[in-house]
Amino acid sequence: MGFLKYALRKLGLMVVTLAIIASATFFLVNAVPGNPIAARTLRMPETVKAELYAKYGFDKPLWPRYVITMRGLLRGDFGMSAVYEGDTVPNIIASKLPVSARLGLQQMLVGVTLGILLGVVSALKNGRAADFAIIALAAFAVSIPQLVFSLLLQKFFAGAKTGLPIIGWSGFKSTILPTIAGAFVYTSFYARLMKSSILDVIGQEYIMTAESKGISGFRVVTRHVLRNAFVPIITYLPMTVAMCVTGSFFVESVFTIPGLGYYYVKSVQQRDLSMVMGLTVFIAALLLAVVFVTDILYKLVDPRIRLERAGKR
């Protein structure tokens, strides 16, 4: 019962937060000087101009527009793109999301898995050459901006030699370089995180208890150390997804991948206000949802919290 109440409270808070973010975005976006259709309507007759202004709602004052926009958001109506004629914002998001989602998932799958593996090796070989090499490599990799790494991959590994396309998004081959470009950030981040998490757990008393009971080293590691070391890792899930969103702006721009990040940048460049508004709200909602799921997962996974609940019964 307590758990359900907790979840509902979090959900309510999330909706309020999203409403505030949407409002703030609306007013920020409307503070942008000029509007995206001004250039287009410059040489049109007055009546057509007025009609076009009415179509995008630029004929109304700020507050009524705010009410219309917020009402629209509630119904899932994000409005029309001012640049891509005749396309609604949800349509554009729906067509670009699968691209970004696939790229992001591939990056996380490769990057996080490799990072966790390296972190485990480094923690178990703590202080030895393997550990030193991994940690030095991770520290070095953190310093290479994703942008530079993407460009270097593109320069040296794309083209005729490897058969990997330089830009674009068609087929598995074109996803390889962008995936590596995004994955290495997670690898270095998770390798360090996993190592410190494991070292924390190894220092705990229950590990000594397990060892003194005569459990083999391998079993102690798999049954006790790793299970507990994974708990704090979960809290970094929202950060990982946020990193993925931020990274996608640059990786997608370098490789010209038609995903959400690339179109966000384009919309900002073209002052496509309704697109910027819609994409920002969408990304914010996505991240809030991840935070929510993480909170719930954390409650479910942490053995200490579970024990507490069992004890009460």
Partner 1 sequence: MAWRILRRNPVAMAALGLIALFLIMAVLGPRLRGIDGGVINVKAKNAPPSRELWFGADDMGRDLFSNLWLGLRVSLTVAVVCGAAQIVLGSLIGGLMGYLGGIVDVVIMRVIEIISSVPGLLITMIVMMILGNGVLSLLLAISITSWCGTARQIRGQIMQLRETEYILAAETLGAGAWRTITRHLIPNTAGIIIVNLTSSIPQYIFMESGLSFVGLGLQPPNISLGTLIASGQVHMDFAPHQLLFPCAALCLIVLAFNLLGDGLRNALDPRLRR
Q: Measured between alpha carbons, how far is 278 from 15 in angstroms, rounded to an integer? A: 16
277: phi then psi, degrees, rounded to nearest 5: -60, -55
**Structure token pair of residue 71:** 């009402």
**Structure token pair of residue 207:** 């590990």
Under the binding rule (CB under 8 A), the answer on residue 39 touching partner 1 is: no
Q: Which range of residues in 66-74, 76-84, 176-184, 238-246 is near partner 1 by CB under 8 A?
A: 238-246
Q: Which range of residues in 45-53, 80-88, 264-272, 296-304 is near partner 1 by CB under 8 A?
A: 264-272
Q: Which range of residues in 25-33, 45-53, 115-123, 224-232 is near partner 1 by CB under 8 A?
A: 25-33
Q: Please identify which residue in the block is written with the tokens 């970004």.
A: 100
> For partner 1, which residue of 8, 11, 15, 20 counts as binding (CB under 8 A)?
20
Under the binding rule (CB under 8 A), the answer on residue 33 touching partner 1 is: yes
Nearer to partner 1, 33 or 45 (CB): 33
Q: Measured between alpha carbons, how far is 72 from 223 in angstroms, rounded to an integer? A: 51
Q: Which of residues 279-308 bind partner 1 (CB under 8 A)?
A: 280, 283-284, 287-288, 291
> For partner 1, which residue of 7, 10, 29, 176 counts as binding (CB under 8 A)?
29
Residue type, 36: P
DSSP one-letter code for 224: I
> For partner 1, which residue of 47, 143, 170, 212 counts as binding (CB under 8 A)?
143
Under the binding rule (CB under 8 A), the answer on residue 35 touching partner 1 is: no
Under the binding rule (CB under 8 A), the answer on residue 151 touching partner 1 is: yes
Nearer to partner 1, 221 or 255 (CB): 255
Under the binding rule (CB under 8 A), the answer on residue 147 touching partner 1 is: yes
Select from 292, 272, 264 the least CA-distant residue to 10.
292
**Structure token pair of residue 134:** 């991994």
> For the chain, where are the alpha helices, taking DSSP H only?
2-30, 46-56, 62-74, 89-124, 129-142, 146-157, 173-202, 205-212, 217-219, 226-234, 237-254, 260-269, 273-301, 303-312
Measured in whole angstroms, the distance separating CA 84 from the mean position of its chain's CA atoms is 25
Nearest distance, CB of residue 265 and partner 1, angstroms: 5
Report yes or no: 258 and 169 within 8 Å, Cβ to Cβ: yes
Under the binding rule (CB under 8 A), the answer on residue 140 touching partner 1 is: yes
Q: Please identify which residue in the block is written with the tokens 């990193």.
A: 243
Under the binding rule (CB under 8 A), the answer on residue 160 touching partner 1 is: no
Q: Which range of residues in 18-26, 168-176, 208-216, 228-236 is near partner 1 by CB under 8 A?
A: 18-26
Query: Cβ neighbours of residue 278 under 8 Å, at least 6 residues apart?
Result: 78, 79, 89, 90, 93
Contact residues: partner 1, CB under 8 A: 17, 20-21, 24-25, 28-29, 31-33, 139-140, 142-148, 151-152, 154-155, 242, 245-246, 249-250, 253-254, 264-265, 268-269, 271, 276, 280, 283-284, 287-288, 291
